[in-house]
Amino acid sequence: MKIAIVILNWNGEVLLERYLPSVIQYSGDAAIYVADNASTDGSVAYVQQNFPQIRIIQNSVNGGFAKGYNDALRSVHADIYCLLNSDVEVTENWLQPIAKAFDTIKDAAIIQPKILDLLRKDYFEYAGAAGGFIDQLGYPFCRGRIFQELEKDTGQYDDTKEIFWATGACMFIKSEVYHSLGGFDEDYFAHQEEVDLCWRAKNAGYKVYYVGASKVYHLGGSTLSNMNPKKTYLNFRNSLFSITKNLPRRKAILIIFLRLLLDAVAGLRFIYQFKFKHCFAIIRAHLNFYAKFGRMYRKREKHNFIKKYYVTKSIVWSHFVHHIKKFNILVKD
DSSP line for 138-184: --EEETTEETTEE-B-SSTT-SEEEESB--TTEEEEEHHHHHHTTSS
Judgement on whether residues 116 and 62 belong to the same structural domain of the protein: yes
Judgement on whether residues 295 and 211 belong to the same structural domain of the protein: no
Q: Which CATH number does the domain housing residue 103 bear?
A: 3.90.550.10
* Confidence at residue 161, expressed as pLDDT on a 0 to 100 scale: 97
Residue 131 falls within a domain, yes or no? yes
Q: How many CB atoms lie within 10 A of CB 268?
A: 12
Judgement on whether residues 203 and 248 belong to the same structural domain of the protein: no
Per-residue pLDDT of the chain (333 residues; tens, 9 = 90+): 899 999 999 999 999 999 999 999 999 999 999 999 999 999 999 999 999 999 999 999 999 999 999 999 999 999 999 999 999 999 999 999 999 999 999 999 999 999 999 999 999 999 999 999 999 999 999 999 999 999 999 999 999 999 999 999 999 999 999 999 999 999 999 899 999 999 999 999 999 999 999 999 999 865 555 678 999 999 999 999 999 999 999 999 999 999 999 999 999 999 999 999 999 999 999 999 999 999 999 998 766 899 889 999 999 999 999 999 999 999 876
Q: Residue 126's closest CA among 219, 38, 50?
A: 219
Judgement on whether residues 32 and 168 belong to the same structural domain of the protein: yes
Judgement on whether residues 96 and 38 belong to the same structural domain of the protein: yes
Residue 224 falls within a domain, yes or no? no
Domain boundary among 184, 218, 252: 218
Judgement on whether residues 214 and 314 belong to the same structural domain of the protein: no
Residue 262 falls within a domain, yes or no? yes
Judgement on whether residues 125 and 185 belong to the same structural domain of the protein: yes
Judgement on whether residues 153 and 177 belong to the same structural domain of the protein: yes
* Confidence at residue 227, expressed as pLDDT on a 0 to 100 scale: 74
Domain boundary among 190, 218, 246: 218
Supply angle C-alpha 191, 192, 193, rounded to 5: 95
Q: Residue 230's closest CA among 288, 178, 180, 185?
A: 288
Judgement on whether residues 251 and 139 belong to the same structural domain of the protein: no
Supply angle C-alpha 131, 83, 47, rounded to 5: 140
* Confidence at residue 301, expressed as pLDDT on a 0 to 100 scale: 74
Residue 156 falls within a domain, yes or no? yes
* Confidence at residue 333, expressed as pLDDT on a 0 to 100 scale: 60
Judgement on whether residues 41 and 161 belong to the same structural domain of the protein: yes
Q: How many domains does the chain have?
A: 2
Partners of 88 in beta bridges: 218
Residue 223 falls within a domain, yes or no? no
Give me the domain span that covers residue 44.
Answer: 3-218
Judgement on whether residues 158 and 289 belong to the same structural domain of the protein: no
Asked whether the beta carbons of 197 and 301 are under 8 A apart, the reply is no
How far is the CA of 190 from the CAs of 102, 169, 171, in angstroms? 27, 12, 15
Domain boundary among 218, 246, 262: 218
Judgement on whether residues 241 and 183 belong to the same structural domain of the protein: no
Query: Measured between alpha carbons, how far is 206 from 270 in angstroms, rounded to an integer?
Result: 38
